[in-house]
Structure 1
Amino acid sequence: MYRARDRVDNEEWIGRLTRAADGLDLGSDARSNAVDLFLSNVPDEERSKPAVAAASLYAGALIAGEERSQGAVASAMDVTRLSVQNRWKPLLEESGFRPPEW
Structure 2
Amino acid sequence: MYRARDAVENEQWIAAIEEASERLDLGTETRSRAADLFLTNAPESDRSKRAVLAASVYVSALTTGERRSQSAVADATGVSRLAIQSRWKEILESAGFDAPDW
TM-score between both structures, scaled by the size of structure 2: 0.95
Partner of 1:58: 58
CA deviation vs aligned residue, 1:20-66 (integer Å, no higher than 9, x gap): 00000000111011000000001011100000000000001111100
- Secondary structure of 1:44's aligned partner: coil
Amino acid at match of 1:25: D
Partner of 1:20: 20
How many residue pairs align between the two structures?
102
* Residue 99 (structure 1) shift: 2.6
Amino acid at match of 1:97: F
- Taking the aligned partners of 2:28 and 2:99, their CA distance within structure 1 comes to 21
The structure 1 segments of at least 4 consecutive aligned residues displaced by more than 2 Å after TM superposition are 99-102
1:48 counterpart = 2:12 = no
Name structure 1 gaps, 5 residues minimum: none
Partner of 2:71: 71
Q: Which moved more, 1:92-101 or 1:62-71?
A: 92-101
1:35 counterpart = 2:35 = yes
- Taking the aligned partners of 1:100 and 1:68, their CA distance within structure 2 comes to 17
Asked if 2 retains the 8 angstrom alpha-carbon contact of 1:17 and 1:35, the reply is yes
Q: CA RMSD in A?
A: 1.1
* Residue 95 (structure 1) shift: 2.8
- Secondary structure of 2:86's aligned partner: helix
Q: Which moved more, 1:88-97 or 1:17-26?
A: 88-97
* Residue 100 (structure 1) shift: 4.3
Amino acid at match of 1:42: A
* Residue 86 (structure 1) shift: 1.0
